[in-house]
Amino acid sequence: MKLKKIITTSFMATALTATAAVNKTDFLQNKQIVQNTNVTGDMYSAQNAFAAVYEKAKDSIVNIRTKKTIVVETYNPLEAFLFGTSGRRQQRRESGSLGSGFIISSDGYMMTNNHVIDGADEIYVKLSDGHEYLAKLVGTSPEVDIAILKVNTNRTFKPLKFANSDNIKIGHWAIAFGNPLGLNSSMTVGVVGASGRSSLGIEQVENFIQTDASINQGNSGGPLLNINGDVIGVNTAIYSPNGGSVGLSFAIPSNLAENVRDSIIKNGRYERPYVGISVLDLSPELKKARKISYSTGILVQQVYPNSPAAKYGLKVNDLILEINGKPIISAGAFIGELAAKKIGETVNLKVYSNGAEKNISMKLESFSYQQQTRQQRR
pLDDT band per the 50, 70, 90 thresholds, residue 7: very low
**pLDDT at position 242:** 64
Active site (annotated) includes residue 172: no
Closest Cα partner for 331 from 377, 278, 256, 281? 281
pLDDT band per the 50, 70, 90 thresholds, residue 70: low
The domains located in the chain, with CATH, are: 59-150 (2.40.10.10), 165-264 (2.40.10.10), 272-377 (2.30.42.10)
Distance (Å, whole) CA 321 – CA 195: 17
**pLDDT at position 257:** 95
Distance (Å, whole) CA 248 – CA 215: 8
**pLDDT at position 42:** 81
79-88, 247-256, 325-334: least confidently modelled range:
79-88
More confident residue, 20 or 95: 95
Active-site option among 100, 145, 249, 318? 145
**Confidence (pTM):** 0.76
pLDDT band per the 50, 70, 90 thresholds, residue 161: very high
163-172, 201-210, 336-345: least confidently modelled range:
201-210
348: left (phi over 0), alpha (psi -120 to 50) or beta: beta
Closest Cα partner for 60 from 154, 135, 179, 158? 158
Distance in Å from the first CA to the final CA of the chain: 57
Inter-residue contact 222 to 98 (CB < 8 Å)? no
**pLDDT at position 31:** 45
Q: With 0-12 CB in 10 A as exposed, 13-18 as middle and 19+ as buried, what is 327?
A: middle
39-53, 255-269, 357-371: least confidently modelled range:
357-371
**pLDDT at position 39:** 62
- Cβ neighbors of 81 (< 8 A, separation 6 or more) are 87
The phi and psi torsions of 259 (rounded to 5 degrees) equal -65, -40
Active-site option among 97, 220, 249, 307? 220
**pLDDT at position 90:** 67
pLDDT band per the 50, 70, 90 thresholds, residue 16: very low
Whether pLDDT at 5 is above 60? no
Using one digit for the tens of pLDDT, what is the confidence trace for 224-281? Answer: 999 999 999 999 987 766 666 667 889 999 999 999 999 999 999 998 888 999 999 9
Whether pLDDT at 124 is above 80? yes
More confident residue, 172 or 25: 172
**pLDDT at position 237:** 84
In this structure, the number of other CB atoms found within 10 A of the CB of residue 132 comes to 13
pLDDT band per the 50, 70, 90 thresholds, residue 207: confident
What mean pLDDT comes out for the span 8-27?
33
pLDDT band per the 50, 70, 90 thresholds, residue 179: confident
DSSP state of 235: E
**pLDDT at position 80:** 61
More confident residue, 341 or 245: 341
User: Which residues are 125's β-sheet partners?
Assistant: 64, 133
**pLDDT at position 369:** 43
Distance (Å, whole) CA 28 – CA 298: 67
**pLDDT at position 120:** 92
CA of 264: how far to CAs of 109, 139, 255, 258, 316, in Å? 11, 6, 14, 10, 33
Distance (Å, whole) CA 322 – CA 106: 37
Active site (annotated) includes residue 220: yes
Inter-residue contact 253 to 208 (CB < 8 Å)? yes
Any idea of the CA torsion for 212, 215, 221, 222, to the nearest 10 degrees? Answer: -80
**pLDDT at position 243:** 62
Write down the number of H helices and E strands in the chain.
10, 21
Distance (Å, whole) CA 185 – CA 288: 51
**pLDDT at position 82:** 66
Active-site option among 97, 115, 185, 195? 115
Using one digit for the tens of pLDDT, what is the confidence trace for 132-158? Answer: 999 999 999 999 999 999 999 999 999
Across the chain, what does the average pLDDT equal? 82
Using one digit for the tens of pLDDT, what is the confidence trace for 100-114? Answer: 999 999 999 999 999
